[in-house]
Amino acid sequence: MGEVGVTERNIEQKSDESMNLLTSTQIVIKEALDKLGYTDEMYQLLKEPLRMLTVRMPVRMDDGSTKIFTGYRAQHNDAVGPTKGGVRFHPEVDEDEVKALSMWMSLKCGIVDLPYGGGKGGIICDPRTMSMGELERLSRAYVRAISQIVGPTKDIPAPDVYTNSQIMAWMMDEYSRLREYDSPGFITGKPLVLGGSHGREKATAQGVVICIEEAAKKRAIAINGARVVVQGFGNAGSYLAKFMYDAGAKVIGISDAYGALYAPDGLDIDYLLDRRDSFGTVTNLFENTITNKELLELDCDILVPAAISNQITADNAQNIKASIVVEAANGPTTLEGTKVLSDRGILLVPDVLASSGGVTVSYFEWVQNNQGYYWSDEEVNEKLRKVLVQSFNNVYDTSERQNINMRLAAYMVGVRKMSEASRFRGWI
Ligand SMILES: NC(=O)C1=CN([C@@H]2O[C@H](COP(=O)(O)OP(=O)(O)OC[C@H]3O[C@@H](n4cnc5c(N)ncnc54)[C@H](O)[C@@H]3O)[C@@H](O)[C@H]2O)C=CC1
Ligand SMILES: O=C(O)CCC(=O)C(=O)O
């Protein structure tokens, strides 16, 4: 931590803290289990995924060469039910990160009370440099490689960073071909015409908005006119910016992997949405950009990291000016960063709560696939709001009652269901 030159670091590179995504998750899980009175045996069960599959996939590239890609699927704990979680295509995917991501999925499912455990997948690749044909062959190869451990009642993938409904459609088709029957419930985040759910695409952002509204009430901040900064302009970040903009907030900063845009009087979000590409890139069209680091430190009321992990660390947490930080991304704040923000009285709504709208509507999609009967957009929104408002207040009240920060409170709420299910199954 705190090494010389860290401020100059390219944001794509990882800090020492990021090596500890898994370790820091284990530390908070242990703390939550201790507070709940569980023994060390429970911690030993939950500190790592039950299963971690590494696969190597040969894929024919457009130029005729063959490239070998490495991918992972982690299944953290399936005591409650099948595991569930997205698949990430990113050059920086690594084994420990996928493990931590699967553990966060277990916590999310516990917090919003879904009948799932956590899973997560990833492939080391850069889809921004691949053709549609190459992406399709890679997506299908991944499903063939992990097919033995996934399925509608085993482990149900979904979208995450740099994956989308088209990739879900190819994966669903490959799985259905392997099994020789149509299996829409194998994966969620599908296009509507293939059994996708209304509201899934915007669900993560909608869940974040509900958490922002609830957090703003606690801090007496009016959404109308609030200054909002959003890091990341992909699925989560761009919908979120749009919802906040439509609600009358001033979105003064947004960013992507290449830089950030800042306008003190507010950005024209509709214009930016119109110009962004399918990877959530838009800043390359502008000249007066700032860095992602500068974006995070802008003077604002509400800051939403909605891109990648390890963005708020011991290095910059002191400089964050927002009153409320709501984590749409997975793992954007390190343990050290969390401590600094909490000590400074900034309300931090943690990822495992704030970004749980995505998996909640994925669950709705899976339920609709299983029953073959589909709900309206209004029905989905109403159900999502109910779940998220209740979950936010459950975690917030726990944090107040126990006098702890919301991350530890969320872990306490999230870890309980899988612990109890593991105990009833006789595993501990
Ligand atoms: N899509 C979903 O349903 C859910 C997503 N999340 C989390 O939200 C975050 C964003 O995911 P999506 O919006 O789905 O991904 P996306 O692929 O749609 O968009 C990613 C955005 O992050 C930006 N980005 C990538 N690398 C970056 C870097 N090094 N620095 C700054 N920005 C960078 C991209 O330019 C893009 O704007 C991730 O942490 C993901 O795990 C969490 C829950 C559900
Ligand atoms: O929609 C899902 O099933 C999982 C979404 C996800 O990967 C996440 O919440 O991080």
Contacts of 175 (CB under 8 A, 6+ apart): 143, 147, 150, 151, 183, 186, 187
**Ligand 1 atom 38: residue of nearest CA:** 329
DSSP 196: P
Average pLDDT (118-141) is: 98
Q: Does 8 score more than 60 pLDDT?
A: no
**Ligand 2 atom 4: residue of nearest CA:** 85
Residue 146 Cα to chain centre, angstroms? 21
Is residue 256 a contact partner of residue 214, using CB atoms and an 8 Å limit? no
pLDDT in tens, 277-328: 999 999 999 999 999 999 999 999 999 999 999 999 999 999 999 999 999 9
Q: Which atom of ligand 2 is nearest to the CA of 355?
A: 9
Q: Does 16 score more than 70 pLDDT?
A: no
pLDDT in tens, 165-217: 999 999 999 999 999 999 999 999 999 999 999 999 999 999 999 999 999 99
Q: Does 6 score more than 70 pLDDT?
A: no
What's residue 17's pLDDT? 52
Residue 327 in contact with ligand 1 by CB distance below 6 A: no
Is residue 203 a contact partner of residue 356, using CB atoms and an 8 Å limit? no
Tell me what percent of the residues of the chain surpass a pLDDT of 90: 95
Whole-number Å distance, alpha carbon 209 to ligand 2 midpoint, is: 17
Residue with tokens 């915007």: 202
Residue 45 in contact with ligand 2 by CB distance below 6 A: no
What's residue 36's pLDDT? 98
Residue 317 in contact with ligand 1 by CB distance below 6 A: no
- The ligand with the least distance to the CA atom of 87 is 2
**Distance (Å, rounded) from C-alpha 57 to C-alpha 380?**
37
User: 30 catalytic, yes or no?
Assistant: no
Q: Does 223 score more than 50 pLDDT?
A: yes
Burial class (CB in 10 A: 0-12, 13-18, 19+), 55: middle
- Residue 410, SS3? helix
Could you please report the per-residue DSSP string of 64-123? S-EEEEEEEEEE---SSSSEE--EEEETT--HHHHHHHHHHHHHHHHHTT-S-EEEEEEE
Whole-number Å distance, alpha carbon 160 to ligand 2 midpoint, is: 7
Q: Which of 30, 108, 120, 242 is catalytic?
A: 120
ipTM of the complex: 0.99
DSSP 298: S
Amino acid present at 196: G
**Distance (Å, rounded) from C-alpha 29 to C-alpha 262?**
37
User: Of residues 53 and 19, which shows the higher confidence score?
Assistant: 53
Whole-number Å distance, alpha carbon 71 to ligand 1 midpoint, is: 18
- Residue 399, SS3? helix
For ligand 1, pick from 112, 206, 208, 256 the residue to mutate: most ligand atoms within 8 Å of CB. 256
Residue 308 in contact with ligand 1 by CB distance below 6 A: yes
Q: Which atom of ligand 2 is nearest to the CA of 200?
A: 1
Q: How confident is the model at residue 1 (pLDDT cuts 50, 70, 90)?
A: very low
